[in-house]
Amino acid sequence: MGTNVEASNQPNSSEDANVSTVEKKPAVVFVLGGPGSGKGTQCANIVQQFGYTHLSAGDLLRAEIESGSENGTMIDNMINEGQIVPSEVTIKLLQRAMEESGNDKFLIDGFPRNEENRASFENLIRIEPEFILFFVCPEEEMERRLLCRNQGRKDDNIEAIRKRFKVFLESSLPVISYYDAMGKVFKINAARPVEDVFESVKSIFDKAD
Ligand code: ADP
Ligand code: C5P
Ligand code: MG
């Protein structure tokens, strides 16, 4: 059965407290970093080794466009401009994917991307992240990676990339600072080969397990 994200947020009644099937809140790790810092690449490795379900907010939004949803045009326009889609849309997609996964531990990649994302997750999903992985990488390196990513993304062109960097600095970094002040952020030097970055990632999950 899938994780019931909403129900798991209700306080247990005294009756439920004795039932062995009482649902526990799922564990959530936010995976953040600039565009092209390697979030998706590292998440694939974490899934293999640690059994998390990987939910990329960007991937979910792209799938929503592909599905022919009534929000598709709006999402497409925002992605092409590097803008952050309203949280109500993204949260619904995340919530549905969590419920459908059947898992109870999630890597949420590329979310929260701004203060509105963060506050909505807190208010609607009501799960505190266990910790935040923050992949730190210079813009020149991220730009190089994005320009040769070759996944057919319309926003991997120099004009959109520059807009995405600006949004990252202005809107996403403050969210990371918010969690940093709570002592929840693990900074990882992402400007190294994939295997070396994963060594650092692994040591964090080994300790958390
Ligand atoms: P993000 O999800 O953060 O945007 P991706 O994981 O999609 O980043 O990586 C962007 C591009 O860079 C991909 O083509 C990927 O293969 C490549 N890449 C990822 N990590 C590294 C790394 N450590 N060194 C070199 N290239 C990388
Ligand atoms: O993470 P990724 O690079 O796949 O995100 C692509 C785009 O999806 C972002 O530039 C943004 O337009 C949109 N997005 C969003 N809200 C998120 C994550 C991604 O609007 N939380
Ligand atoms: Mg990605």
Q: What is the DSSP annotation of the chain?
A: ----TTGGGSPPPTTGGG-TTPPPPPEEEEEEESTTSSHHHHHHHHHHHH-PEEEEHHHHHHHHHHTT-TTHHHHHHHHHTTPPPPHHHHHHHHHHHHHHH--SEEEEET---SHHHHHHIIIII----SEEEEEE--HHHHHHHHHT--S--TT-SHHHHHHHHHHIIIIIHHHHHHHHHTT-EEEEE-SS-HHHHHHHHHHHHHHH-
Give the atom of ligand 2 at the shortest distance from the alpha carbon of 59. Answer: 4
Cβ neighbours of 47 (radius 10 Å):
14
Whole-number pLDDT of residue 5: 62
The predicted pLDDT at position 68 comes to 95
The segments of the chain whose pLDDT lies below 50 read 1-2, 7-17
180 Cα to the center of ligand 1, angstroms: 24
φ/ψ of residue 135, rounded to 5: -85, 115
Query: In the chain, what are the domains?
Result: 28-55+100-208 (3.40.50.300)
The token duo for 184 is 């929840």
**In angstroms, what is the span from residue 15 Cα to ligand 2's centroid?**
42
Number of the ligand 2 atom closest to the C-alpha atom of 58: 4
pLDDT in the model for residue 93:
98
33 ligand 2 Cβ < 6 A: no
Question: Closest residue (by CA) to atom 22 of ligand 1?
Answer: 194
Question: Cα separation of 97 and 169, whole Å?
Answer: 28
φ/ψ of 57, rounded to 5, equals -60, -40
Ligand nearest to the CA of 200: 1
**Rounded distance between C-alpha atoms, residue 131 and residue 148, angstroms:** 30
